[in-house]
């Protein structure tokens, strides 16, 4: 099918590439020319603005870095709302349910359907097509885009109320953020007591403490000291902050969420929003006065 794709970053670029490889015709847009060039080389058409994308196709997908950018691309001057052909806007970004519902309501006035479709599974999952794709929106429009979304991974229809898929995504990312923060503290404690972090990770992965940080992030980017998982601290901070807001708004206890949020705020202040989110380990290391790395290998 003809698909517009806006936002060709860490996630958007591999997802757009997979759509082209699956035979879809893409019209792409990003504010960075260097992001657009590889897709152009694969045969995508390049548009001059989100509105231009929405002038050319009925289905527009977006993978954008912040709530403000999602709102701008959807609703503001030059946004998809001004497009002549667009029928549905599929937001693959993490925006939280409030912003998703807000965008949905404004687009509805122009008879444009908004489909929430946040994803989980990282840059590697985007490249391999193994993402968890969470979807909420009207069933008829979900049916139209389902084959295209299947290219990204496994599609889970969460519900039909705007924002439901966003709530699902925040619950997932809170758990991922918590695993990373908690594993950083646990391993730093062990290292300070003289344990080998690589052995610790092996033991935890054979035991009941196993989680996504111990199976993925620690072996691939922390113990190797590369800190290049491909998800920024700014994005993780955004997700945990949205999760705390969501829980507070619903009147749900959030003591663990709020404490995890603090850890990401410290990381953001000390290492900057552009740092890889695995930098949280370095924040803990500073306070503990130890370095977590492969035994015998100096960082």
Q: Which of 3, 4, 5, 7 binds ligand NAD (CB under 6 A)?
A: 7
Options 231, 240, 242, 282; binder of ligand NAD; rule CB under 6 A: 231
Would you call 109 exposed, middle or buried from its count of C-beta atoms within 10 A (0-12, 13-18, 19+)?
Answer: exposed
Stretch that binds ligand NAD, among 3-11, 38-46, 97-105, 258-266 (CB under 6 A): 3-11
Cα–Cα distance between 27 and 29 in angstroms, integer? 7
| Position among 1, 22, 35, 195 found at the interface with ligand NAD (CB under 6 A) | 35
Q: Binding ligand NAD by CB under 6 A: which of 75, 119, 164, 242?
A: 119
10 forms part of the interface with ligand NAD (CB under 6 A): yes
Q: Tell which one of 4, 9, 83, 163 touches ligand NAD (CB under 6 A).
A: 9
The CB-of-104 to ligand NAD minimum distance in angstroms stands at 16
Question: Binder to ligand NAD among 4, 88, 94, 102 (CB under 6 A)?
Answer: 94
Partners of residue 90 on adjacent β-strands = 61, 115
Which CB, 148 or 198, lies closer to ligand NAD?
A: 148
Neighbours of 290 (CB within 10 A): 18
Classify each residue of 257-287 as buried b or exposed e, where b means 16 or more C-beta atoms within 10 Å of its C-beta: beebbebbeebbeebebebbbbbbbbbbbee
Q: How many CB atoms lie within 10 A of CB 297?
A: 10
Least Cβ distance, residue 73 to ligand NAD (angstroms): 5
**Interaction of residue 8 with ligand NAD, rule CB under 6 A:** yes
Q: Does 226 sit near ligand NAD (CB under 6 A)? A: no
Could you say whether residue 31 binds ligand NAD (CB under 6 A)? yes
Residue 268 binds to ligand NAD (criterion: CB under 6 A)? no
132 binds ligand NAD (CB under 6 A): no
Q: How many CB atoms lie within 10 A of CB 87?
A: 15
Told to check if 59 binds ligand NAD by CB under 6 A, we report no
Contact call for residues 238 and 66 (beta carbons, < 8 A):
yes
In the bound state with ligand NAD, the residue whose beta carbon lies nearer, of 139 and 156, is 156
What amino acid positions are annotated as catalytic residues? Answer: 169
Which of residues 134, 180, 235, 260 is near ligand NAD by CB under 6 A? 235
Q: Which of 185, 194, 235 is nearest to 214 (CA)?
A: 185
Residue nearest to ligand NAD (CB): 9
Q: Of 177-185, 190-198, 229-237, 244-252, which segment contacts ligand NAD by CB under 6 A? A: 229-237
- 230 contributes a contact to ligand NAD by CB under 6 A: yes
Q: What is the DSSP string of 68-90?
A: HHHHHHHHSTTSGGG-SS--EEE
SS3 content of the chain, % helix, strand, coil (to 5): 55, 15, 30
Pairing relationship of beta strands 25-29 and 45-46 according to DSSP bridges: parallel
Cβ pair 14, 123 in contact under 8 A: yes
Q: Read off the tokens for 260.
A: 């995890």
Contact residue for ligand NAD among 2, 21, 32, 202 (CB under 6 A):
32
Applying CB under 6 A, the residues found at the interface with ligand NAD are: 6-12, 29-32, 35, 63-65, 69, 72-73, 93-94, 119-120, 122-123, 230-231, 235
């Amino acid at each position: 099918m003809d698909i517009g794709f806006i936002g060709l970053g860490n996630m958007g670029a591999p997802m757009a590439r997979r759509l082209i490889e699956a035979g879809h015709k893409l019209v792409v847009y990003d504010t960075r020319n260097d992001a657009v060039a590889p897709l152009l080389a694969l045969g995508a058409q390049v548009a001059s603005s989100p509105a231009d994308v929405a002038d050319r196709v009925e289905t527009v997908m977006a993978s954008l870095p912040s709530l403000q950018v999602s709102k701008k691309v959807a609703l503001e001057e030059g946004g998809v709302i001004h497009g002549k052909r667009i029928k549905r806007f599929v937001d693959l970004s993490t925006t939280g349910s409030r912003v998703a519902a807000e965008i949905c309501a404004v687009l509805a006035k122009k008879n444009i359907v908004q489909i929430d479709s946040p994803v989980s599974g990282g840059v590697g999952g985007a490249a391999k097509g193994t993402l968890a794709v969470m979807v909420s929106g009207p069933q008829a429009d979900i049916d139209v885009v389902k084959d295209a979304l299947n290219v990204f991974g496994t599609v889970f229809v969460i519900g039909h109320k705007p924002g439901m898929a966003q709530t699902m995504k925040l619950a997932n990312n809170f758990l991922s953020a918590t695993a990373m923060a908690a594993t950083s503290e646990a391993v730093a404690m062990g290292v300070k007591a003289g344990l080998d972090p690589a052995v610790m990770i092996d033991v935890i992965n054979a035991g009941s403490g196993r989680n996504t940080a111990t199976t993925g992030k620690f072996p691939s980017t922390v113990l190797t000291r590369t800190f290049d998982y491909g998800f920024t601290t700014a994005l993780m901070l955004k997700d945990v902050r949205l999760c705390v807001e969501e829980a507070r708004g619903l009147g749900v206890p959030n003591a663990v969420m709020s404490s995890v949020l603090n850890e990401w705020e410290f990381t953001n202040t000390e290492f900057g929003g552009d740092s890889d989110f695995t930098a949280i380990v370095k924040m803990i290391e500073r306070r503990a006065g130890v370095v977590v790395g492969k035994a015998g290998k100096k960082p």
